[in-house]
Structure 1
Amino acid sequence: MLGKLIGGVAGFAIGGPIGALLGAAAGHNLDRASKPAPALPGRQPRLTLLIDGGFALMGHIAKADGRVGEAEIAVAEAWMQRLRLDPAQRRRAQDRFARGKQADFSVAGCVADVRTHAGADLRVLNTLLQMQVSVAQAEGRLSPASRQALVGVLAQFGLPAAMLDAVLGQAQGGGRHAAGRVRPRLEQDYAVLGVPADAEPAAIKRAYRRLMARHHPDRAGDDPAATTRAQTINDAYRRIREARGF
């Protein structure tokens, strides 16, 4: 049954008959591999699994192209906000993210632990996969190294690489999101500026000006990363302005 349920993750993320077919294929492989555990009871066990497994895998994918930039960190911060982590949980998530960046991090071991403890809980598995796709696309494009890392994570779950293309295609086309929820790209942008998604325009403008005053290339001397930081801040502010109409 676990394979069919993880197949449901693929179907939910992709949607339509393509998702159903990919889910069935993945489910067949996983059903042969292991016997499922029961669904996790309550929010806290799910959250712990997302912190320990989800953020560690995010760190691994963020590091895949050689460096972890501010955009990837902003995505991780956005997920901490979305999951409503308290200070202790945030520190744990940061530690796990850092662990995932290490060269000796075991993707197979991490995924095996997730599969052992997630059981039949679709919410955990679906959210965990969304976390990985979002950090891989943090800079607005998917590098070959990030794609390879994502495919490797999917393979450990028994999911086909074709699922990744379908999910990415949906994300680039706008995709679906729950009513009232800020789309993932904008969540990252709010995190870059350090303001909540429901912040007033005046607060957003103040945050933008404060960050630009701190990170403007003219004040950074010979720091080669200054231009990249300033561009990230400018791009985030522009997208929020366009989305909010101010």
Structure 2
Amino acid sequence: MEIKKLTKEEIAEGLTLNFVNKVNLKKKCSPVMFKAGDEPVGIMECSTGYWVHTSEGYLRDEKGRLIVFDIRACQIARARYLMNHGEEEKRKEAERVLEQRKKKILEKLNIFKNNIEDIRQYTIEGSAMNELMKVFESEDPRVKAKFNRKIANLPKMEAQYEWLVSEFEKGNYNLLLDIMRIEKIPNPITFRLDNEDDMRMLKNAFGKQAIDEAQGDVNKLYARLKVEQMYNM
């Protein structure tokens, strides 16, 4: 929803039209603060607006019916929360992004490792894979050439796997995300110097505060950059 005008009270809080109109309730709607200083609460979309839920349950009227809050009120409430607690939320989200990236790399490495082990089994006389290979070869001679190519490529695969693992242990996650085709990491130099949003994202992700908090871990900086992009969409 595009909000056209803010109240005097909302402006006095520090809210701006540009800021509140960047809030996308469809993407992430909770937590929110309906008044400055209030405890954050959650909201859930319904057919006519949003229901509000606290630690004690959903808010209801005197007849026990769920109270519906309109979209504008919830968008302002979400903006108010981000103005007061956005930095903390982004920090936690960046931690989640980094853990997800590490998990995806490990999953790919595990698949690679299993592929290597499967091929290695072909070379072990008497193993189930070795016996299966012999059956396939007897039925189709062309299969032997296929298996031989895989076996011949085994040392190269093992060396590649060891290199990938060493890069992971060094913390070179961005490199692995790219070469293992998991995720394309954005290059900060492609951001536009004359674009206010781009510069704000770079400042938040690579500014002094972010660098100090990362304690030299570049992966945390790039995770924060992804979060900044998510919040700017």
More helix by share: 1
Sort the TM-score into its range (normalised by shorter chain). under 0.3
Higher relative contact order (CA 8 A, sep 6+): 1
Query: What TM-score results when the alignment is normalised by the length of structure 2?
Result: 0.22
More strand by share: 2
Query: What TM-score results when the alignment is normalised by the length of structure 1?
Result: 0.21
Q: Larger Rg: 1 or 2?
A: 2
